[in-house]
A and B are shown apart, each in its own frame.
Chain A
């Protein structure tokens, strides 16, 4: 990685995340974070798709307000015959893995797709960055089986639901950081947050 990586080790031995800056956007990576495991993996191996929801939030120095937030959705499926993963990042211009990937590669591909704009943040001004990731069944995000679509009620139910012991639900917060402390990264696709 060409840019400056700031590894942050949160309390209680959780997996650290690294933050890099490409001049416009902040990126995260977490090589030791493995979310294609447990119950989601079981569902994937039954040929179901699993939706992962992520969000990057940029907070002010005192974390009293959010400067910007960027949610993303990734749909993962598992190829029964090749025993590898395929991922589609949804959005206005969906993108997919060019071919099926191993679990670590698929996880890394998802995180590489995350970026949040640092526009308006002074280089010397401290800020905090929060990374959140959770799962949702695709049917949870639709009106019901056979009824494609999303309704607010489903979404509220989804977020009011306590995650099960096997359901991935990660939140990592890093800071205070300053842009001037982050070396400019290259070779990463800039995304507007």
Chain B
């Protein structure tokens, strides 16, 4: 019987070659009908691709253009298969199916794509992975478990890049992305880290720097509940609290607290033309630690960022402006830092701000074309009452997706000390 099965297969294989020559469009009797509407629908949302701009932002301009191009044309079933595959990929869906139904007028049909999301998903990912030839490796990764609208994350980090400390430890986060409505997102996060300090930072603290900030701590625990509300797309507001405990060793083992209310307002707008795309992101964050929350540190931190990106084909140019100010005495981990993989890339943070600063201003211009990438950073970090020293750096490298391989040069007179960086660099 095996021989028979193989013969059966053989016949169909060669017969299938003949079959392959005939396209679905040629033999589907509905190809004579004209498409009058195309809709894409998921759980709790539906878009006709024309009127609902907020839902349309779920997919790229190119895909939406191709979906809209179906309207007014004769039905092409094989094109629907290709578009369903693209929708599945862009919307990270479990399945995208399509149906064709009678239209509102004779000889017309309507096309409906149905997007089915994953019910449960487990994934591992890195939110940060950077190698800096001065600071070594930094990584933050974890496992995400998503069940319906609930997401759990268990992470581990060892980061010597973001702050003036190297912190290593664990984190856990629970997030509910649908609290009664898709517009409200609830999040709880807990982090526990051990800290190591660079000698430049310890020397600066010993020289009296701790008047401006905390002492060097050995451990840091943080609990942060927050609610994010979509006020009106594209505007979201996140409000919450940040309860931090610092285990300090000197002059005697004791604990200090930094408890603050936090709020962040975010704005995102995308403008799409036929050949280009513009993205505008803006955010303002406020952190206010007060004695009312039993905080040992009392301060108010304001920071804002504005980013504009213009995409034309494979050319992408962006400008990101950031500024921040802290009034009062904030712990070391809440102070601004530059000379890392985000701000003033190429500079050594322990040279320019071993204790961070309570004032900062920074601008980045970034251009990439295909794999090629070039960026220019300029900024200053200082403490209130000091003179701000503007600094500049240039970088060049290769970028594939989120991964970058770059060499950054701090611009200064005298010597050239390039810094090599690779990883997930903004």
Q: Enumerate chain A interface residues (CB-CB to B < 8 A).
A: 46-49, 51, 53, 55, 57, 66, 69, 71-73, 75, 77-81, 86, 88, 90-92, 94, 96, 100, 138-139, 141-142, 145-146, 148-150, 152, 155-156, 159
Asked whether A77 and B23 contact (CB < 8 A) given A49-B77, A159-B9, the answer is: no
Of listed B13, B29, B98, residue having the most chain A CB within 10 A: B29
**Separation of A152 and B16 alpha carbons in the complex (Å):** 10
Query: B24 contacts which of A49, A73, A81 (Cβ < 8 Å)?
Result: A49
The segment from B101-109, B150-158, B344-352 that touches chain A is B101-109
Query: Does B38 sit at the interface, judged by CB under 8 A?
Result: no
Contacts of B20 in A (CB 8 A): 141-142, 148-150
Q: Is the CB of A78 within 8 A of B27?
A: no
**Separation of A46 and B99 alpha carbons in the complex (Å):** 5
Query: Does B81 sit at the interface, judged by CB under 8 A?
Result: yes
Q: Is the CB of A79 within 8 A of B29?
A: yes
State the interface size on chain B (CB cutoff 8 A). Answer: 38
Query: Does B45 sit at the interface, judged by CB under 8 A?
Result: no
Q: Is the CB of A90 within 8 A of B77?
A: no
Q: Is the CB of A47 within 8 A of B9?
A: no
Q: Enumerate chain B interface residues (CB-CB to A < 8 A).
A: 4-5, 7-9, 11-13, 15-20, 22-24, 27-30, 33, 75, 77-79, 81-82, 84-85, 98-102, 106-107, 109
Contacts of B12 in A (CB 8 A): 53, 55, 71, 73, 155
Contacts of B7 in A (CB 8 A): 66, 69
Across the A-B interface, the 6 shortest Cβ-Cβ residue pairs = A47-B100, A146-B82, A145-B81, A86-B29, A150-B16, A88-B27
Q: Is the CB of B85 within 8 A of A145?
A: yes
Of listed A46, A88, A142, A150, residue having the most chain B CB within 10 A: A150
Q: Is the CB of A46 within 8 A of B100?
A: yes
Asked whether A91 and B18 contact (CB < 8 A) given A77-B27, A77-B29, the answer is: yes
Contacts of A155 in B (CB 8 A): 9, 12-13, 16
Q: Is the CB of B8 within 8 A of A69?
A: yes
Closest residue of B by beta carbon distance from A75: B27
**Separation of A66 and B34 alpha carbons in the complex (Å):** 48
Q: Is the CB of A73 within 8 A of B15?
A: yes
Asked whether A80 and B102 contact (CB < 8 A) given A49-B77, A90-B19, A146-B82, the answer is: yes
Asked whether A69 and B13 contact (CB < 8 A) given A139-B81, A145-B85, the answer is: no
Q: Is the CB of B102 within 8 A of A90?
A: no
Q: Is the CB of B17 within 8 A of A77?
A: no
| 12 A-B residue pairs with CB within 8 Å | A47-B30, A47-B77, A49-B28, A55-B12, A69-B8, A79-B30, A80-B30, A80-B101, A81-B33, A81-B107, A142-B20, A156-B9
**Separation of A146 and B80 alpha carbons in the complex (Å):** 9
- List 9 other contacts, CB 8 Å, given A75-B22, A81-B33, A148-B23: A47-B99, A55-B12, A71-B11, A88-B22, A141-B19, A141-B20, A145-B78, A146-B78, A146-B85
Closest residue of B by beta carbon distance from A138: B24
Asked whether A159 and B77 contact (CB < 8 A) given A53-B12, A80-B30, A148-B20, the answer is: no
Asked whether A47 and B81 contact (CB < 8 A) given A77-B29, A141-B16, the answer is: no
**Separation of A94 and B75 alpha carbons in the complex (Å):** 22
Shortest Cβ distance from residue B171 to the other chain A in the assembled complex, whole angstroms: 40
Shortest Cβ distance from residue A168 to the other chain B in the assembled complex, whole angstroms: 17
Shortest Cβ distance from residue B375 to the other chain A in the assembled complex, whole angstroms: 37
Shortest Cβ distance from residue A59 to the other chain B in the assembled complex, whole angstroms: 9
Contacts of A53 in B (CB 8 A): 12
Contacts of A47 in B (CB 8 A): 28, 30, 75, 77, 99-101, 109
Contacts of B109 in A (CB 8 A): 47, 80
Query: A90 contacts which of B22, B75, B107 (Cβ < 8 Å)?
Result: B22
